[in-house]
Amino acid sequence: MSVISLGYIHLTTEGTLGEWKNFATSVLGAAAVERDDELLIRVDEKAFRIAVTQADSGGLASVGLDVGDAAGLDLLRQKLAEAGYAVREGSAEEARRRSVIRLLHCNDPSGTPLELFYGQTYVREQFVSPLGVRFVTGDLGLGHVLLRAGRYDDTLAFYRDILGFRISDVWNGKEVTATFLRCNARHHSIALRKADDEGGFSLGHFMLQVDDVNTVGRAQEYGQEHLAMTIGRHFNDEMISCYLRSPSGVNVEYGTGGRRVDEATWVVGQIDAPSDWGHHPVKN
């Protein structure tokens, strides 16, 4: 058994949860509620997909990966232990906060905190976007994350050989080395990029997919003060997207039209540039 989708992410912010709530609802078109000391953001029927808490600095707190069921989680735990990784069973309280049945904590070789889980809660209350946005999730999971990995080779081997990700494409550029990894039909759920600092990790951006290019255009318009990169199209996953700077300092790639991989026919490709048009950096 391996990972089947990106389930959720947990971000920290230096700012207020109210500021994040405003960004999530009025720019991204997500729904957001404050519970205890965290902001829970919904884009579909799941209890939450993005959790935000306050901290001294903004960034990534953890990445939640769905492994499907209890047997899958137990097998993965065994595999991780055999490979020498430290794994900790999440407490009942931690599982409650994440709205899952069970979770395991472990770090990838670059230090990225991961939560492997199963049993994400569907909530009865229907998801209603304040902007009428329809997000593309379901079997494809939340979207994707771009992780910068200090220990790139070890980290790539970890996702491929232990967590069961498959390689969709690679980018061996002059300044960028990256591998695009999938765990379902989404072209990539994790993009792994080699970082300069040995041993470190960070979240470069995360991607949310919507079902209409006009929604992406409107987000660029509504989110002008947050705009980090203009609308453009990526070569490899065919995503037409813009990048918006979230209050956590992490960019959100907000896109549409991403391609699906057919496992029977897919062959690994290599790209020489990330975009065929657009994606121009914006100085705010």
Q: Binding residues for Fe ion, per CB under 5 A? A: 207, 253
Q: How far apart are CA 199 and CA 138, in angstroms?
A: 34
Closest to Fe ion by CB, 44 vs 253, is 253
Longest dimension (CA), the chain: 50
| DSSP code at position 269 | E
Q: How far apart are CA 237 and CA 233, in angstroms?
A: 9
CB of 255 to Fe ion, least distance (A): 8
Instruction: Give the torsion through C-alpha atoms of 21, 186, 107, 53, to 10 deg.
Output: 0
Q: How far apart are CA 206 and CA 79, in angstroms?
A: 27
Q: How far apart are the first and last CA of the chain?
A: 45
Closest to Fe ion by CB, 111 vs 204, is 204
CB of 241 to Fe ion, least distance (A): 7
CB of 187 to Fe ion, least distance (A): 10
Q: Which one-letter amino acid corresponds to residue 165?
A: F
Coarse DSSP helix, strand, coil percentages of the chain, rounded to the nearest 5 percent: 20, 40, 40
CB of 152 to Fe ion, least distance (A): 17
Closest to Fe ion by CB, 9 vs 207, is 207
Closest to Fe ion by CB, 17 vs 207, is 207
CB of 238 to Fe ion, least distance (A): 12
Q: Which one-letter amino acid corresponds to residue 189?
A: S
Closest to Fe ion by CB, 169 vs 253, is 253
Closest to Fe ion by CB, 63 vs 207, is 207
For residue 248, the number of C-alpha atoms closer than 13 Å in the C-beta half-sphere is 28
CB of 18 to Fe ion, least distance (A): 27
